Amino acid sequence: MPNPDGKKGGKVHQDKVDEVENILRDNGCDKIEREVMVRTSDEAKTKRFIDVQGTNTKTGETVSAQIDKQNKNGSPDSRERQAAADIQGVTRRLVLFFPYN
């Protein structure tokens, strides 16, 4: 059964997105965006979506974050690892992972 909340994720996922937004704000990001599309023409998919992106408009530093469940060993699942790799390949910046389970 598809998620009734669609791409933005269920309540637990959305709660974690809210938490990560606060973390980014606490670390100097004054511009916060959700579901930022990144074109990845030659990657596994033609586009990916960054769950949360924060920018410090004074320094220009941007932080990208993906939020999903983690494996039993603490690592992101393979889908999230591929998404992060695709996003990093285009943006040339590290993608942080925040688990919600």
* Residue 55 to residue 32: CA distance in whole angstroms: 7
**3-state helix, strand and coil shares in percent for the chain, rounded to the nearest 5:** 35, 30, 35
pLDDT of res. 35: 94
pLDDT of res. 5: 67
Mean pLDDT to the nearest integer, 28-50: 89
pLDDT of res. 10: 85
* Residue 96 to residue 94: CA distance in whole angstroms: 6
| 38 half-sphere exposure, CB direction, 13 A CA radius | 28
pTM: 0.86
pLDDT of res. 4: 67
Mean pLDDT to the nearest integer, 49-73: 95
Give the pairing type, strands 62-68 and 31-39. unpaired
